[in-house]
Amino acid sequence: MDFWDFRGWTRIPQNRGLKEPLVLTPHLMRHVYKHMKFLLIFRNPIDRLYSDYFFMNYGHSPESFHDHVILSIRMMENCIRDNSLRTCMFSWKMYYQLPTRLHIGCYSVFLKEWLAVFPREDFLILKTEDYNRDALGTLRDVFNFLLLPPLNEMAMDNLTDLKRRHETKSKKRLVTLLCGDMEDCNISVVPPRNGRRRGKHIMDASIPKKRKRNFSTADIDIIVSGVESNFETLISSLTNTVTNNVKKKIWNDITTKLNATGDITRNEEEVRKKWTDMKACAKKSESARRLNAKRTGGGPPPDDLTVMEKRILNRKCSSHQ
Over its length of 321 residues, how does the chain's per-residue pLDDT go in tens digits?
688 989 889 999 999 999 899 999 999 999 898 889 999 999 999 989 998 888 888 888 888 899 999 999 999 999 999 999 999 999 888 888 999 999 999 999 999 999 999 999 999 999 999 888 888 888 889 999 999 987 887 887 778 777 766 665 655 555 544 544 434 444 333 334 444 443 333 334 343 445 677 888 888 999 999 999 998 888 888 888 888 888 989 999 999 998 888 778 888 888 988 888 888 888 888 887 787 777 655 556 667 888 888 888 885 544 433
Query: What is the reported pTM?
Result: 0.56
Q: Is 124 helix (H, G, I), strand (E, B) or coil?
A: strand
* pLDDT value, residue 169: 61
Residue 7: HSE in the Cβ half-sphere, 13 Å Cα cutoff: 11
Same domain, 44 and 130: yes
- Partnered with residue 42 across adjacent β-strands are 127
> Which one of 135, 167, 199 terminates a domain?
167
* pLDDT value, residue 260: 87
**Is residue 189 domain-resident?**
no
* pLDDT value, residue 40: 95
Same domain, 57 and 123: yes
Residue-number span of the structural domain to which 93 is assigned: 7-167
Total count of domains within the chain? 2
**Is residue 151 domain-resident?**
yes
- Cα–Cα separations (whole angstroms), residue 100 to 44, 49, 50, 65, 104: 16, 8, 9, 8, 10
**Is residue 2 domain-resident?**
no
> Which one of 127, 142, 167 terminates a domain?
167
Same domain, 21 and 162: yes
With contact defined as beta carbons under 8 Å apart, do 73 and 197 qualify? Answer: yes
Same domain, 246 and 160: no
Q: Residue 133 corresponds to which amino acid?
A: R
**Is residue 36 domain-resident?**
yes
With contact defined as beta carbons under 8 Å apart, do 315 and 228 qualify? Answer: yes
Same domain, 227 and 161: no
Same domain, 125 and 47: yes
* pLDDT value, residue 201: 36
Same domain, 156 and 275: no
Same domain, 140 and 275: no
**Is residue 172 domain-resident?**
no
Cα separation of 125 and 3, whole Å? 12
Same domain, 252 and 148: no
**Is residue 86 domain-resident?**
yes
Same domain, 26 and 152: yes
Instruction: Pinpoint the alpha helices (H) of 24-115.
Output: 25-32, 45-55, 62-82, 85-89, 92-97, 107-115
Same domain, 156 and 233: no
> Which one of 99, 132, 167 terminates a domain?
167
Same domain, 152 and 229: no
**Is residue 57 domain-resident?**
yes
Backbone angles phi, psi at 208, to 5 degrees: -75, 145
**Is residue 204 domain-resident?**
no
DSSP conformational letter for 260:
T
